[in-house]
Amino acid sequence: MFRSSIVPPRVFRKILAFTSLLVAACLLVSFFPSRSRMQAQAPAYEKELTAGGKALLTIRNRHGRVSVVASDDEKSKASLRATSTGAPVEPADVNVSGSEITVRERPDRIDLTVHVPKRARVKIETETGMVDVIGDFEVADVFTNTGTIHADVPLDALKFKFFWQSSHPRFLSDVELPPIKEGRAGAFSISGVLGPDARRKKRKKKEAPAGDEAGDAADNKGAANETQPNDNTAQPPEKQELVQLNFTTQRGVILLNVDPAMAPNDLRERPLTEAARSIVRSGDGPLMDAIRKVSPRMFGDFAKTLPPPRTEPSLVTLRPPGEIATSVAPQLMRVNASVTDRNGRAIPGMRNSDFAVYEDGSERKIVDVTPATEPFNLVLLLDVSGSVEERIDFIRKAARDFLNTASPQDRISIISFRDDIKIISGFSTDRSLLSKKLDELDAGGATALWDALAYTLVDTLKPLRGERTAVVILSDGDDNKSFIPFPAILEATIESGALIYPLYVPSGLIPEGSVPRPSITVDPMRTRYLTITTRAAEEGQKLATVSGGVFYPIKRMEDLQKAYDDVVAQMRTAYTITYASGADGQSHHRIRVHANRDGASVRLSPVVAAQH
């Protein structure tokens, strides 16, 4: 038996973030047990601050993270909490003098979380540490060298100036910002006002002559009239007071109302690739939004060329007057259930009667079970970025080996990618044709893995919704050029219902494999470094887990064929179950599938709607 869930994307992000932290903690404990236990037992240092009123609170923390959070109450008390990546934080490590907080430098990092009243004035200075400014401030001045500055503030009345002293701007904003201004000696800035309340105040300031007391009095009288309506007038909404952000950095990144986890690896505004344009055309809201934030102007220009989105027609059943509908037809849902015995082998020949589906503890009617022998629509996604001819030869051979291993009835499409995608072949069962198409692979460029996967999910596989689909990725897993961030890809993967099989091959392993006898090469030591990066491995595992697929970290060349054989075997264990759900499409539902075979183990993919 196995439990799965229909999880809303926002809830999933929180679960995913917690899971990542938990995995990281477990890894630390396994490698550094004594130090990890010491850190787990070390209490945080907490202190209530006496600085009050509108005094400017100054915080200096050279290398640690500083998070300043404004409460919803202007009368709340200020406080700080200090945590460490190493030894416990002592009172002498955090010096508080009046309205100044200074963190003493230590070999390990000290992170500060400071809570301040609403409309506080703060000044934060760091070198490499990240800074968070969250809430409603009067003024927030931040100075960093390379640290990321993350602001999450009201946008109804915002005045801002972002200044990069030694680099071209790197930023991401939830709203479109004014054009970049280039200054002297390689400095750049972005400044302006945002929000209707800020513009209203700016217009009023321009219209009223300086020192016009009569005008000020009239404004005050008007404001008084607005805040004291008579019984027949609704009270107008409260105007947002102006928030001022002044951020100065040498070479840091600035994020305005954007979750840091949703920032892609390359923040530079750039022309939309074919993959990005296809994603925009698909109408997928979260993925489109990610592209808009990276290249707002180019996104806007392209979006203007698209026809308005079509509303799909729907059939409405008219009931006689007075008749009340007492029930609603159940929604059909689909889930892939991979069923294996105690030895991990596929259990063939299962039918409707061999399964039971439970939703929130209630058994649901199974409408159909697609046999595990039914064909898949399979996309082979090939990474050709930064490739030399030696690597391209390997990729061609690896792809042809997979074509020869895949089940003959599976329809296969081949897509290559570097900084953009290239369709090598549409879906076909003709292995000879597919093999010839591999001669069209081109090498070079950056790696836009998440864009390529997003394109595959929303363009190539979307028309096949309701059919059995899977994606096999052959890459090193290191994305450095996508518009789409990794968390957005996870959400798109869940909603697609496709099985994902990441086969991650270290880039250095490919030339090593071309040497007949690596043990006698001039540089045998290089084999120690032919590994997958930690981030790539973690992301590959998450992709496989949320989709119901399997992650394969390739450490030796002979592992690749074993992975191919296992991918094919895994797909042949997958039954597609369609059942009548009682879900309302909004609340959270837990799904359990029972296989009526002794010793059977069931692994589930995300549950998706079987109908459009």
Domain CATH for 419: 3.40.50.410
Question: Considering the domain boundaries, does residue 325 fall inside one?
Answer: no
Q: Does the structure show a pLDDT above 90 at 460?
A: yes
CA–CA distance, 241 with 254 (Å, rounded to integer):
23
Residue 241 has pLDDT above 50, yes or no: yes
Q: Do 428 and 460 share a domain, yes or no?
A: yes
Q: Are residues 449 and 492 in the same domain?
A: yes
Task: With respect to residue 284, please indicate whether it lies within any of the assigned structural domains.
Answer: no
Tell me what pLDDT residue 478 has: 92
Query: Would 206 be classed as within a structural domain?
Result: no
d(CA 184, CA 165): 9
How high is the mean pLDDT of the chain?
82
In a domain, 38, yes or no: no
Share of the chain above pLDDT 90, in %: 54
pLDDT for 584 equals 60
Instruction: Kindly state whether residue 443 falls inside one of the protein's structural domains.
Output: yes
Same-domain pairing of 94 and 161: yes
Same domain for 524 and 598?
A: no
Q: 463 burial class (0-12, 13-18, 19+ CB within 10 angstroms)? A: exposed
The number of angstroms, rounded, from the C-alpha of 108 to the middle of its chain's C-alpha atoms is 29
Same domain, 68 and 104: yes
Same domain for 364 and 475: no
Q: Is 599 in the same domain as 550? A: no
pLDDT value at residue 3: 39
Which among 506, 466, 505, 500 is positioned nearest to 486, based on CA atoms? 500
Asked if residue 444 and residue 418 are part of one domain, the reply reads: yes
Same domain? 454 vs 598: no
359 and 420 belong to one structural domain: no
DSSP state string for 22-85: HHHHHHHHHH-HHHHHHHHHPPPEEEEE---TTPEEEEE-SSS-EEEEE-S-TTPPEEEEEEES
Mark whether 246 and 342 lie in a shared domain. no
pLDDT above 50 for 372? yes
Q: What is the pLDDT of residue 511?
A: 64
Predicted local distance difference test score (pLDDT) of residue 74: 80
Yes or no: say if 61 and 72 are a contact pair by the CB < 8 Å rule. no
State the pairing for strand pair 253-256/149-152: parallel
Q: Average the pLDDT over 286-291 and give the result.
A: 94
**Domain for residue 231, yes or no?**
no
Least confident of 340-349, 361-370, 513-522: 513-522
pTM summary value: 0.76
Q: How many CB atoms lie within 10 A of CB 167?
A: 15
**Domain-located, residue 515:** yes
How sure is the predictor about 323, in pLDDT bands with cuts at 50, 70 and 90? very low
User: Same domain for 603 and 504?
Assistant: no
Q: How confident is the model at residue 310 (pLDDT cuts 50, 70, 90)?
A: low
Binning pLDDT at 50, 70 and 90, where does residue 206 land?
Answer: low
Range of the domain at 57: 2-19+45-198+241-262
DSSP 330: P
Q: Please tell me the least confidently modeled range out of 4-13, 119-128, 522-531, 546-555.
A: 4-13
Place of tokens 């990542």: 20
29 lies in a domain?
no
Dihedral sign (CA 470, 474, 477, 479)? negative
Q: How does pLDDT run across 582-606, given as a tens digit for each residue?
A: 866 555 578 899 999 888 999 888 8
Burial class of residue 179 (count of CB atoms within 10 Å of its CB; 0-12, 13-18, 19+): exposed
Query: Is the model more confident about 35 or about 300?
Result: 300
Domains held by the chain: number: 3
Determine phi and psi for 553, rounding to 5 degrees: -80, 115
Q: Which helix (H) or strand (E) holds 496?
A: helix 486-496
Place of tokens 């509108």: 54
Contact 374, 576 (CB under 8 A): yes
User: Could you tell me the two tokens for 310?
Assistant: 């079509």
